[in-house]
Amino acid sequence: MICFERTGFSTIQVHMKSIYFSHLRPALVALAIFFGISADAQSFVFSNTTPQAVPRRASIILIVADGLGYGDLSCYGQTKFQTPNLDKLAAEGIRFTNYSGETENSESQAELMFGKNSADNELTVAQILKNSGYHTGLIGEWTLGDENSALAPWKKGFDEFAGYLDADAVKNFYADYIFRYAPKSIYDETNKQFTTFSGREMIYPNTLGKKTQFIPDLFTKAALNFVKNNQPDQFNRYRPFFLLLNYQIPGDGTGRAPSDAPFSEESWPQPEKNKAALISRLDGYVGELREQLEKLAMTNNVAIFFTSDAISKKASGVDPDFFHSNIATNDFRVPMIVHWPGNVSAGRVSRLRWSAQDFAPTAVQIAYAKPATNFVGISILPVLISQPGTNTSVLPDSRNPEF
């Protein structure tokens, strides 16, 4: 459930009503059928002995920045300012040093969703997770299709959507509307039933000449409410969720945070102050999300992936090398951090070579779901859950990860 609470001339609170799925059945056979568990993900042995319990499936959060360079975070070597929340996420999980981004965010989004560099009618990771019992939500940018296409997010597996379907609109950090898909969210007094809202919803603090609502702040608030309203508790029948939180920051340098604080007094060029302020704000969003998970006692069964969809670019006066963003001009590496307590050992650094197309098969295996036949990428779950110092030849190709 995504909930927005707006301030300004009035307070409006709109709820996206969650779709509840049936109870998980206790029998292992039914679990295997319902989850679509693949043979290589979980094996079942039927005998007179008491069967082992299938672990409760983890919720999955994918946070995607835009234009965040390899060295823009202090945990990746940036020394001009600190990113404490992302540093902590990395220290408590695994930090990858050979994860590749793309030059354009639309290419990366296609790879993340389809497990390959394609945007077509094949299954997305959201569809697979939804079909296996997950509640799915997308907050932020969607570049693969507008509301009138077959690639609209709610047609490709997302139960809820709040964001933008236009590449230009998403760059406006003070837009006066947000596009929302809210199933069964409006009560029809005439027909005595809930109907679905799909369309633009005004952001009143940004209308009538006022520009006070910073859109990434609104995305974060929506994410906190999504996590709270869809936590896998008895009221939601212990149903896990998948949340894609797709920010457009730090971006290409054209957008600005409400303030360049806390870097206003630095001697840096103004574009670099603006970029640092956006990165610092992004770091704060991650901290807010983790605080929400801690309040909800959800720290141990949520797999968090944090990355950037595209490499840092020289645009609008921003120098990608100012914060040591790129090692070389042909370097496509971007940050990738995975945090999953109890499954991913803390403090690990991996040189595994992988990219966005490997996320979908990894998430599907985490969910004990049946992988799609169209995946080009492979699951890196064996690397995530392996222990430091063990044999790392656990992938079905020759990537040879080093720890």
Helix spans in 199-269 (H): 215-229
Average pLDDT over residues 331-335: 87
pLDDT for the residue numbered 48: 43
pLDDT for the residue numbered 8: 31
Average pLDDT over residues 201-225: 93
pLDDT for the residue numbered 373: 83
Burial class (CB in 10 A: 0-12, 13-18, 19+), 24: middle
More confident residue, 327 or 260: 260
Domain 3-8+61-385's class?
alpha beta
More confident residue, 36 or 181: 181
The crossing angle, in degrees rounded to 10, of helices 215-229 and 270-295 is 10
Helix spans in 179-310 (H): 215-229, 270-295
pLDDT for the residue numbered 402: 47
More confident residue, 142 or 392: 142
pLDDT for the residue numbered 388: 67
116-129 burial, b if ≥16 CB within 10 A, otherwise e?
beebeebbbbbbbb
pLDDT for the residue numbered 102: 76
For the cut 90, the answer to whether the pLDDT of residue 156 exceeds it is yes
Note the pLDDT tens digit of each residue in 230-286. Answer: 999 999 999 999 999 999 899 877 788 899 999 999 999 998 999 999 999 999 999
Average pLDDT over residues 302-327: 77
The tally of CA atoms less than 13 A away on the side-chain side of residue 47 is: 6
Note the pLDDT tens digit of each residue in 51-93. Answer: 444 458 999 999 999 989 888 999 999 999 999 999 999 999 9
The domain limits of the chain are 3-8+61-385
Q: pTM here?
A: 0.83
pLDDT for the residue numbered 389: 58
More confident residue, 12 or 159: 159
pLDDT for the residue numbered 171: 84
pLDDT for the residue numbered 253: 73
Short-list 273, 338, 297, 285, CA closest to 97: 338
